[in-house]
Amino acid sequence: MVELKGLTKRIGRHTLVDDLTLLIGKGEVFGLLGPNGAGKTTTIRMITGLIKPTKGEVTIAGYSVTGEFEKAIENIGAVVENPEMYGYLSGYENLLHYARMHKTITKGRIREVVGLVGLEERIHEKVRTYSLGMRQRLGLAQSLLHKPGVLILDEPTNGLDPAGIRELREYLKRLAREEGIAVIVSSHLLAEMEKMCDRIAIIDKGRLIGVEQVDSFVGAKKQKWLILLNEVKTAEKVLAEKGILYSAEERSVTIEAKKEQIPSVIASLVEKECSIYEVSPIKKASLEEEFLLVTGGAK
């Protein structure tokens, strides 16, 4: 649905985005992560056609953003930074004004998206009375009116309270899965990105460090596991033979292993007649911790 090929943006001698290549499919929530100044917003602006790349190409549903701009942009809905609305108009009037620019948008569709973003009770009030979070939701409603195949959100949780953030997260995931929309999200709230996204791209100093499934990224490294069992001495011998780092207590051992190693470890212990009462992770690495390690932010 969205393809970036060798995308590069330079201003003078300064490279903002350097040879970025990505493929984002239908039905997934895809996160762009990186420190401030990493190139995330510049990338989004190139995807939406707000700025032209120095070299490289963006295609949306097979259409080039630079060569076939109108056809490409028809497939995009976007909320970039804080959405601009007419404060002297109501939320409904703002959506109606936007809908007049698209012959296919009906009043029924307006009511539908208002319900989707939860603005039914305030939609006929002036936008100048809205909180920042409500403006964000109105901007999201506007971006969905023409039923885009790609939804692009830059810092979508700005101004939202925890309940609003949770609602937005669940809605975006449902929208991607049920409507087949490719959702691209840029945010500095790493804990929310971990819950919201299917895949993430780490960008640092304009370069792509890697693309990972969120579950794979936060689970790839070893973590500690607590195993409650009866034969600690036997367990120590088994773990030593398998080269597993461990520490032992009277009725338990704590090991350091990857998640995929655990079934093999348990099988080996049971084979040596150890009775296993419980196996539980002590601490799972968060997306924030892995992100800081990858970008050097933990130094």
Spatial distance between the Cα atoms of 124 and 126, rounded to a whole number of angstroms = 7
Spatial distance between the Cα atoms of 95 and 113, rounded to a whole number of angstroms = 10
Higher pLDDT, 159 or 266: 266
Q: What's the rounded mean pLDDT across residues 64-77?
A: 91
Q: What is the pLDDT of residue 157?
A: 77
Q: What are phi and psi of 238, to 5 degrees?
A: -60, -45
Spatial distance between the Cα atoms of 280 and 209, rounded to a whole number of angstroms = 32
Q: Does residue 247 have a pLDDT over 70?
A: yes
Q: Does residue 299 have a pLDDT over 50?
A: no
Q: Does residue 221 have a pLDDT over 90?
A: no
Q: What's the rounded mean pLDDT across residues 64-90?
A: 88
Q: What are the structural domain ranges in the chain?
A: 2-213, 223-281
Q: What is the pLDDT of residue 104?
A: 85
Report CA-CA distances (Å) from 270 to 232, 239, 282.
12, 12, 21
CA angle at 95 for the pair 89 and 96, rounded to the nearest 5°: 85
Q: Does residue 279 have a pLDDT over 60?
A: yes
Total-model pTM: 0.71
Q: What's the rounded mean pLDDT across residues 6-14?
A: 93
| CATH classification (class only), 223-281 | alpha beta
Phi-psi region of 243 (alpha: psi -120 to 50; beta: other; left: phi over 0): left
Query: SS3 of 36, please?
Result: coil
Spatial distance between the Cα atoms of 154 and 285, rounded to a whole number of angstroms = 26
Q: What's the rounded mean pLDDT across residues 178-207?
A: 85
**Percent helix, strand and coil across the chain, each to the nearest 5:** 35, 30, 35
Higher pLDDT, 255 or 116: 255
- Please report where in the chains the tokens 């420190």 appear, as a residue: 35
- Write the pLDDT tens digit of every residue in 190-203: 777 888 898 988 88
Q: What is the pLDDT of residue 265?
A: 93
- Please report where in the chains the tokens 């799972």 appear, as a residue: 284
Q: What's the rounded mean pLDDT across residues 104-126?
A: 90
Q: Both tokens of residue 172?
A: 């975006």
Report CA-CA distances (Å) from 25 to 47, 181, 241, 273.
14, 8, 44, 48
Mean pLDDT of the chain: 86
Q: What is the pLDDT of residue 218?
A: 58
Under the banding of pLDDT at 50, 70 and 90, the label for residue 28 is: very high
Q: What is the pLDDT of residue 289?
A: 63
| Other CB atoms within 10 Å distance of the CB of residue 203 | 25
Q: What is the pLDDT of residue 133?
A: 79
Q: Does residue 113 have a pLDDT over 50?
A: yes
Q: Does residue 219 have a pLDDT over 60?
A: no
Tell me the CATH architecture of domain 2-213. Answer: 3-Layer(aba) Sandwich (3.40)
Q: Both tokens of residue 191?
A: 């804990």
Q: What is the pLDDT of residue 162?
A: 79
- Please report where in the chains the tokens 């790839």 appear, as a residue: 220
Q: What is the pLDDT of residue 123?
A: 96
